[in-house]
Amino acid sequence: MAYQTILTEIRDRICIITINRPDKMNALNKEVFTELEMAVDEVSNNPDIQAAIITGAGQKAFVAGADISEFQQYQRAEAEALARRGQNIFFKIENNRKPIIAAVNGFALGGGCELAMACHFRICSDNARFGQPEVNLGLIAGYGGTQRLTQLVGKGKSMELHLSGQMLNAAEALEWKLVNYVTPQDALIPKAIEILNGIISKAPVALSHVISTVNAAALGAGLQGFEKEISAFGACFDTADMREGTQAFLEKRKAVFTGK
């Protein structure tokens, strides 16, 4: 598929989606949203893809936010529609049954930080910067940032980052548990691929249940989350992969999963 504002590449069952507007710090405009949604749909629907990485083009930015140049023409109704659209696309990432990780290669600000947080987890390069600087523009986050940052780092730290508009560097993001690993820039994509290769060697149906149950916990599902886990645990027993995984363990061999 030929895109104008993103690049996609499938490397051995892993789709690398690169937001590709480096001259505009990979800011998310309407075209990026449309193409990002198409690429995420492709990840969901293409059986040759088992996982994805989202990253940014160039050495400076992952994504420096929503495209501010589109904002001036908006009134309240258009702004709400934009936030809803952004949130819906990010829900598609968050609820994807295939693992999608963010490889944050530079500035992840505003919508860029929100995009990274919608991914299942994040790694970053040592030059990465994270922040929700919308208050500098008289705005707040609109693509789920107030909710996801609070889930990820807790209320106090989330409140401070949103209220101050300040940026975190990579070491601080690691300390705040916003990212799982920090690498040198040239090691970022290889590290993401290494992590995902480990993950996609597991049973795909089990992976999809991990994603949906952990997401339920993050949304504060309470006792319903525990019920969801019981149901998902049971559903694994309907899969051939569970039979194969347990049999392989007992036979002291490596399991061969088929996704069934």
Token pair for residue 61?
């930015």
Query: In angstroms, rounded to a whole number, what is the distance separating the alpha carbons of residues 186 and 38?
Result: 28
**What is the Cα–Cα distance from 97 to 25, expressed in whole angstroms?**
29
Residue with smaller CB distance to ligand COA, 104 or 211: 104
Active site includes 244? Answer: no
Interacting residue with ligand COA among 56, 99, 133, 144 (CB under 6 A): 133
Q: Which of 94, 114, 134, 241 binds ligand COA (CB under 6 A)?
A: 134
The answer to whether 109 contacts ligand COA (rule: CB under 6 A) is yes
User: First-to-last CA distance in the chain?
Assistant: 28
How does strand 129-131 pair with strand 167-169? antiparallel
Q: Is 114 designated active site?
A: yes
Q: Which two tokens stand for residue 51?
A: 């996982």
- How many residues are recorded in the chain? 260
- Interface region with ligand COA, contact rule CB under 6 A, candidates 5-13, 85-93, 128-136, 243-251: 128-136
The size of the interface with ligand COA (CB under 6 A), counted in residues, is 17
Query: Given candidates 59, 69, 164, 212, which one binds ligand COA under the rule CB under 6 A?
Result: 69
Q: Which stretch binds ligand COA (CB under 6 A): 8-16, 45-53, 133-141, 176-184?
A: 133-141
**Looking at 35, 114, 175, 251, which residue is catalytic?**
114
33 binds ligand COA (CB under 6 A): no
Q: Judged by CB, which is closer to ligand COA: 137, or 230?
A: 137
Nearest to 16 by CA among 31, 3, 30: 3
Q: Please select the residue that binds ligand COA; options are 66, 117, 170, 200, rule is CB under 6 A.
A: 66
Q: Give the contacts of 129 (CB within 8 A, at least 6 positions apart).
A: 106, 107, 108, 109, 167, 168, 169, 170
CB-count exposure of residue 180 (10 Å: 0-12, 13-18, 19+): middle
Q: Which is nearer to ligand COA, 69 or 246 (CB)?
A: 69
Q: Is 170 in the site for ligand COA (CB under 6 A)?
A: no
Catalytic residue, from 134, 172, 175, 194: name it: 134
Dist. CA 11–CA 95, nearest whole Å: 22
- Catalytic positions: 114, 134
Binding residues (CB under 6 A) for ligand COA: these are 24-25, 27, 64-69, 107, 109-110, 133-134, 136-137, 139
